[in-house]
């Protein structure tokens, strides 16, 4: 269904593919005759292990379940389905996993699709060449990129903008489904709107809000619908028990931003300083006044992660108020004693990291409430070069804390209650983000190869 000159309608069933969404509300969205279905599946929020270890944010089974519903909706609506940042990290590996899922579903259901796969892995040699040319810079408070870190990264991906989606849709007639590697979250929605000739500023702003599904609603939900017109767009959740308000939509515009009005992305900066939010129905909000300023140099964000040793943890509960009142001092002595016990191991080669939930486990030193709870959950994490060493240090820390003497102690049976066995839990390889930088590109599409095939 082609968009009219006056309006394009886009349906986003969830803020994250694999999290599930109400199918009945999705069908309400299909009844609105959308011109496209867009959904994101990427984020760095859940940590670096996806990039570092080739893992996915959700299980394969969860993706199969969601994708089958989406494909059924695409066939019913006969509009493009755009899925971005496959698997969470958007690596080539996970683009191919999603492609294989679509093949399996198509065979099972007897469906045919024209599928475009867009890849986002970036050649390490190319990155180092651009570094030498001075075209790579830190993004935020990170050090300049070191070539050794590029080599250490398991894989490096780049966040694509709207242009690779436009190329995939324009260069091959009748593409039904697009699965992309790592992309800037609003890119699929913005691409559909820009392709239909609408204002890029409004397209990017609507994409920014819709990529999280109905997180902009009260209460927050899954399915959301967007109507983009020449001088504004409107947002409404598809669950009849949810509503968008000027406050909820304006607040979500601030979501995951470092500046209240300026939002940088591939190709330019979205300026929201003149935006106007209007309540047009009790459940729908109209937004206008967005502006887009193209950047002098087109840049893409690079993301990479490396493995950084192994981790083990123990989890324990404490209820003794005398113990709880001295927990910081007790832990400091226990950690010092553990380090002395492992004196032959260089201290800089491992870390002992306590997390005290019920005291300041969430906010650490920023916690404003200084009085601990009547019971604590103590998680001690040990990171070391090998799993056996991490587990050994973790075990020594646990047993020392279990039996540590302290002033006022009455019972001697132990200071902790352990809910799980094994008492020391190996977590496997640990990872760290080590590439988080911007790279200038001469073409917004050249680094993102596209494969189109009949499924």
Q: Alpha carbon of 125 to those of 51, 122, 128, 132, 444: distances in Å? A: 18, 9, 5, 11, 19
The three-point CA angle 400-403-409 to 5° equals: 135
Q: Are residues 241 and 329 in the same domain?
A: no
Alpha-carbon span 34 to 321, nearest angstrom: 59
The three-point CA angle 401-407-410 to 5° equals: 80
Q: Are residues 348 and 448 in the same domain?
A: no
Per-residue b or e along 239-253, where b marks 16 or more CB atoms closer than 10 Å to that residue's CB? beebbbbeebbbebb
Per-residue pLDDT of 114-155, as tens digits, reads 999 999 999 999 999 999 999 999 998 999 999 999 999 999
Per-residue pLDDT of 217-269, as tens digits, reads 999 999 999 999 999 999 999 999 999 999 999 999 888 888 989 999 999 99
Residue 285 domain-assigned (yes or no): yes
Residue 426 domain-assigned (yes or no): no
Residue 74 domain-assigned (yes or no): yes
Higher local confidence (pLDDT), 413 or 444:
444
Q: Alpha carbon of 241 to those of 100, 221, 223, 237: distances in Å? A: 36, 9, 12, 9
Peptide bond into 310 cis (omega under 30): no
Mean pLDDT for the stretch of residues 422-439: 97
Taking the C-alpha atoms of 262, 279, 162 and 266 in order, what is their torsion angle to the nearest 10 degrees? Answer: 10
Which residues lie below 8 Å from residue 147, measured CB to CB, with a gap of 6+?
Answer: 128, 131
Q: Are residues 442 and 412 in the same domain?
A: no
Q: pTM value?
A: 0.93
Q: Are residues 376 and 259 in the same domain?
A: no
| pLDDT category of residue 213 using cuts at 50, 70 and 90 | very high
Count Cβ atoms below 10 Å from residue 186 Cβ, excluding itself.
Answer: 28
Alpha-carbon span 69 to 18, nearest angstrom: 11
Closest CA to 395 of 382, 406, 404, 386: 382
Per-residue pLDDT of 162-174, as tens digits, reads 999 999 999 888 9
Q: Are residues 353 and 441 in the same domain?
A: no
Q: Are residues 85 and 124 in the same domain?
A: yes
Q: Are 84 and 41 in contact (CB under 8 A)?
A: yes
Q: Are residues 97 and 164 in the same domain?
A: yes
Per-residue pLDDT of 56-71, as tens digits, reads 999 999 999 999 999 9
Q: Are residues 286 and 347 in the same domain?
A: no
Identify the sign of the CA torsion 26, 31, 32, 35: positive
Domain extent for 259: 8-303+435-454
Strands 155-158 and 299-318: antiparallel
Q: Are residues 444 and 408 in the same domain?
A: no
Q: Are residues 99 and 188 in the same domain?
A: yes
Q: Are residues 402 and 445 in the same domain?
A: no
Residue 113, token pair as written in the block: 């699709």
Residue 202 domain-assigned (yes or no): yes
| pLDDT category of residue 1 using cuts at 50, 70 and 90 | low
Per-residue pLDDT of 310-338, as tens digits, reads 999 999 999 999 999 999 999 999 999 99
Q: Are 57 and 43 in contact (CB under 8 A)?
A: yes
DSSP 238-297: SSTT-B--HHHHHHHHTTT-SSSSEEEETTEEEE-TT-EEEE-SSS-EEEE--EEEE-SS
% residues pLDDT > 70 (the chain)? 99
Strands 36-40 and 81-84: parallel
């Amino acid at each position: 269904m082609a968009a009219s000159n006056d309006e394009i309608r886009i349906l986003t069933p969830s803020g994250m593919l694999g999290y599930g969404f109400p199918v009945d509300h999705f069908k309400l969205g299909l009844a609105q005759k959308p011109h496209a279905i867009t959904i994101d599946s990427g984020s760095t929020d859940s940590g670096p292990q996806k990039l570092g270890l080739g893992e996915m944010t959700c299980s394969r089974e969860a993706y199969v379940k969601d994708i089958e519903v989406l494909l059924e909706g695409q066939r019913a609506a006969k509009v493009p389905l755009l899925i971005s940042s496959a698997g969470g990290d958007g690596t080539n590996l996970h683009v191919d996993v999603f492609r294989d899922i679509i093949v399996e579903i198509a065979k099972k259901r007897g469906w045919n699709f024209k599928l475009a796969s867009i890849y986002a892995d970036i050649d390490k040699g190319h990155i180092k060449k651009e570094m030498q040319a001075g075209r790579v810079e830190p993004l935020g408070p990170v050090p300049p990129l070191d070539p050794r870190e590029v080599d250490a990264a398991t894989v490096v991906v780049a966040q694509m903008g709207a242009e690779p989606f436009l190329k995939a849709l324009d260069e091959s007639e009748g593409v039904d489904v697009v699965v992309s590697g790592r992309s800037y979250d609003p890119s699929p929605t913005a691409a559909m709107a820009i392709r239909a000739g609408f204002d890029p500023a409004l397209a990017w702003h609507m994409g920014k809000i819709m990529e999280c599904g109905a997180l902009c609603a009260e209460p927050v939900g899954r399915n959301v619908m967007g109507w983009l017109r020449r001088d504004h767009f409107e947002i409404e959740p598809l669950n009849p028990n949810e509503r968008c308000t000027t406050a909820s939509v304006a607040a979500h515009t601030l979501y995951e931003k470092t500046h209240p009005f300026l939002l940088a992305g591939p190709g330019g900066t979205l300026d929201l300083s003149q935006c106007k939010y209007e309540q047009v129905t009790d459940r729908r909000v109209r937004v206008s006044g967005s502006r887009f300023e193209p950047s002098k140099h087109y840049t893409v964000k690079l993301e990479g992660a490396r493995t950084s040793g192994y981790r083990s943890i123990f989890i324990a509960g404490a209820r003794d108020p005398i113990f709880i009142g001295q927990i910081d001092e007790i832990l400091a002595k226990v950690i010092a004693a553990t380090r002395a016990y492992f004196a032959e191991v260089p201290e800089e080669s491992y870390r002992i990291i306590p997390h005290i939930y019920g005291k300041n486990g969430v906010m650490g030193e920023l916690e404003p409430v200084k009085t601990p709870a009547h019971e604590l959950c103590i998680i001690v994490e040990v990171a070391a070069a090998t799993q056996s060493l991490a587990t050994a240090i973790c075990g020594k820390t646990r047993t020392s804390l279990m039996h540590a003497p302290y002033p006022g102690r009455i019972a001697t049976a132990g200071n902790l209650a352990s809910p799980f066995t094994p008492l020391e839990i190996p977590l496997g390889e640990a990872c760290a983000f080590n590439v988080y930088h911007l790279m200038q590109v001469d073409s917004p599409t050249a680094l993102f190869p596209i494969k189109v095939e009949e499924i």
